[in-house]
Amino acid sequence: DQQVKQNSPSLSVQEGRISILNCDYTNSMFDYFLWYKKYPAEGPTFLISISSIKDKNEDGRFTVFLNKSAKHLSLHIVPSQPGDSAVYFCAASARAGGYNKLIFGAGTRLAVHP
């Protein structure tokens, strides 16, 4: 039973355009959502997060949107750059007990081409 789903295994975007990565979740107890970025041969690196009390969080070129009623979040990257080419993982947690037990999606491979 996948609680966090990333339905697009890959996405190709032209440099300078917007990249939109999507994520759906099923567990209404999730209250914290994150995006991680992963380059080959490296561990995932934290990118941006959002609490369930917000619907938007922005950090430079990266913005995460949360739609709780639809149990959907998205990551917008604008403008996209070739260095953004990586696998992006969506993750969620229900922060009980004071720690973040992260539940990850399967990832979306983003390719930004010139």
Q: Given the complex with other proteins, which of 51 and 67 has the nearer CB atom? A: 51
CA distance 46 to 27: 22
CA proximity to 93, closest of 8, 10, 35, 43 = 35
Q: Given the complex with other proteins, which of 78 and 102 has the nearer CB atom? A: 102
Site for other proteins in 27-46 (CB under 8 A): 31-32, 36, 41-46
Closest contact distance (angstroms) between CB of 50 and other proteins is 9
Which of left, alpha, beta for 52 (phi over 0: left; psi -120 to 50: alpha)?
alpha
Footprint of other proteins on this chain (CB under 8 A)? 4, 9, 31-32, 36, 41-46, 49, 51, 89, 91, 95, 97-107
